[in-house]
């Protein structure tokens, strides 16, 4: 039975954290992965917000760990319409139907995302390549997933790299993201599903500063490469 907590709309001041820390969230997710996924597993933390979660889950399940680099594809007033991970093709929302006049801006947006991936890859992995995924059971992991696109792009990249089976996971997600991942035919594992489409205001009890989280994620990723 899937462990799921559904939480209605609350403010940051009213909401206690879902998890006392990211490491605790990763350990909680790891227990679910142990129950749901056939080992051995390779856990891939989606940069930057899935890295600490995946690293903690990997420790709890004695799984291999690495980071997978992704970037959102953003197009003007449409906002986020998809994502790219590593060197795979972009995953674009099937509901987005670009007109002829949007094709060049779309290609430009995809190129910007590719450049962002290359830049992020140097920060998170240096010159090291992503570990081989051929024939592996792979779990792509994020922290709080309020859009599905980086997770889906990471899953697509893992499939292109020859993974035998792919699971998608997050410590926290929204009902809308969960439904979108299911629509792409992936198994989705998440201990906490919130109803608010913008996610939970305070998913983790440790620092919420995005810059600090990014720095911690880079350190964790570099330690994995050592």
Cα separations in angstroms, 127 against 119, 205, 225 = 11, 33, 10
Residues 56, 58, 59: CA angle, nearest 5 degrees? 65
Give SS3 for 209.
coil
* 8 Å CB contact between 195 and 165: no
Q: What is the CATH classification number for the domain harbouring 139?
A: 3.40.50.2020
pLDDT of 84-125, one tens digit each? 999 999 999 999 988 888 999 999 999 999 999 999 999 999
Domain assignment present for 37: yes
Domain assignment present for 32: yes
pLDDT of 47-81, one tens digit each? 999 999 999 999 989 999 999 999 999 999 999 99
Domain assignment present for 10: no
Structurally, how many domains does the chain consist of? 1
Residues of the domain holding 148: 22-69+135-225
Return the HEC string of 168-206: EEEEEEEHHHHHHHHHCCCEEECCEEECCCCCCCCCECC
Instruction: Single out the residue of 226, 221, 224 nearest to residue 69, CA to CA.
Output: 221
Other CB atoms within a 10 A radius of the CB of residue 32 amount to 18
Domain assignment present for 34: yes
* 8 Å CB contact between 29 and 57: yes
Give SS3 for 10.
coil
* 8 Å CB contact between 5 and 18: yes
Domain assignment present for 13: no
pLDDT of residue 5: 47
Domain assignment present for 28: yes
pLDDT of 8-46, one tens digit each? 455 555 679 999 999 999 999 999 999 999 999 999 999
């Amino acid at each position: 039975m899937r462990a799921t907590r559904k939480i209605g709309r609350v403010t940051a001041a009213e909401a206690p954290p879902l998890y006392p820390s990211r490491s605790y969230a990763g350990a909680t997710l790891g227990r679910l992965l142990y129950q749901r996924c056939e080992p051995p597993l390779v856990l891939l933390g989606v940069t930057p917000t899935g890295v600490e979660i995946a690293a903690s889950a990997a420790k709890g399940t004695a799984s291999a760990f690495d980071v997978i680099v992704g970037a959102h594809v953003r197009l003007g007033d449409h906002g986020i319409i998809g994502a790219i991970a590593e060197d795979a093709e972009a995953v674009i929302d099937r509901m987005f139907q670009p007109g002829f006049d949007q094709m060049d801006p779309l290609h430009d947006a995809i190129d910007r995302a590719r450049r962002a991936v290359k830049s992020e890859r140097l920060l998170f992995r240096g010159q090291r390549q992503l570990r081989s995924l051929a024939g592996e059971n792979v779990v792509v992991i994020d922290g709080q997933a309020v859009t599905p696109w980086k997770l889906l792009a990471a899953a697509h990249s893992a499939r292109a790299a020859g993974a035998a089976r792919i699971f998608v996971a997050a410590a926290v997600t929204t009902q809308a993201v969960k439904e979108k991942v299911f629509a792409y035919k992936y198994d989705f594992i998440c201990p906490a599903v919130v109803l608010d489409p913008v996610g939970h205001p305070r998913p983790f009890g440790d620092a919420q500063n995005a810059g600090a989280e990014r720095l911690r994620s880079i350190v964790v990723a570099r330690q994995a490469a050592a």
